[in-house]
Amino acid sequence: MSVATENPGSETRSILAPTGNRVRVVEEQRRKREILSKSVEKPKRVISQTPPKPGGGGGASVTVVRNNVSAESSSDSSSCNGSTVKTVKSVGSKRRIVKNSNGVVKPAKIVPDGVEALAISPMVPVPVKRCDWITLNSEPLYTSFHDEEWGVPVHDDMKLFELLVLSQALAELTWPAILSKRETFRKLFDDFDSSSVAKFDEKKLMSMKMNGNTLLSEPKLRAIVENAKQLLKIQQEFGSFSNYCWRFVNHKPLKSGFRYSRQVPARTPKSELISKDLMRRGFCCVGPTIVYSFMQVAGIVNDHLTTCFRYNECSMDVKMNSTPRLEKTEAIREAMETTTCTPNESQLHEP
């Protein structure tokens, strides 16, 4: 029996596997290729998308860089339902491409430079909810009056006298008609300076009637002049007409809280009390309905509907000064000297 001798220079022969040497050699070669491919950096993979133009021609290409982002673009990624969404926005471009991990490319959106897509989402204007008596057909002047003046607390005596005169005019005119002639009212009554209106004599009233500038009837004009005289007396007694009016509500506006316009009353027990006191002091044409209209427009009562956007605004940050302001100006003294009526004890007595 002969023994095989090993040749030192010969290559060791691989042991045969059940399927032969071919399978093992192929697996080793594939493993080496994988290791080699990991050590070498893969080149950047670029996907180019050219959105078509309406005419069928080509458009400007938009480049999306995967794996690495080029220096000329910025990217951000977010995760949604387990899939990663990658957003790439090119600098200086107005197109935006969004691509998720599933390889689905969303249509490009045109956005301004440096502005995210959410910032330019279409905004639908929401109509402002006002009181029911303000409709789409209301005059702009009337709507502005509702939004800016009606229900706002007023503490200026000249402004209060103006609102009282306009409330008295409601017996013959409507708010839109009064507001359209407001400047005429101010010229007619010297910007509602009570000390000046109190000096109107018979000649002045007749001249107003002869010139055709009379917006109100003659009895209403005489009532306004008489009310101006009585207002001067209230200013001397209470310091201001504002203090007199606001003391009936403890210097805080009343909040009605009505939801529907049909719930708003034409008169209240409070307006009846003020009306009675005004008439006792010599005021004319100051019935409970007129007084309540005056309380509404002067903000003494907030009758904006709860569904109106002005309801909370008129009640917000209301700061009142309950201390009477003892202002006895020379104009009031001069006007008092021209009046022939003197207050009696019942007029000076506070209810």
Query: What six digits make up the tokens of 296?
Result: 């509404």
Residue 179 C-beta-side C-alpha neighbours within 13 Å: 15
Residue 320 three-state SS: coil
Pairing of strands 95-100, 73-80: unpaired
Alpha-carbon distance 24 to 69, whole Å? 41
Consult the annotation and say whether 349 binds a ligand. Answer: no
Consult the annotation and say whether 155 binds a ligand. Answer: no
Distances (CA, A) of 256 to 155, 261, 273, 301: 20, 12, 17, 7
Alpha-carbon distance 149 to 166, whole Å? 13
Consult the annotation and say whether 285 binds a ligand. Answer: no
Contacts of 279 (CB under 8 A, 6+ apart): 286
Alpha-carbon distance 160 to 166, whole Å? 10
Pairing of strands 73-80, 83-90: antiparallel
**Annotated binding-site positions:** 131, 146, 304, 308
**Annotated binding-site positions for Zn(2+):** 131, 146, 304, 308
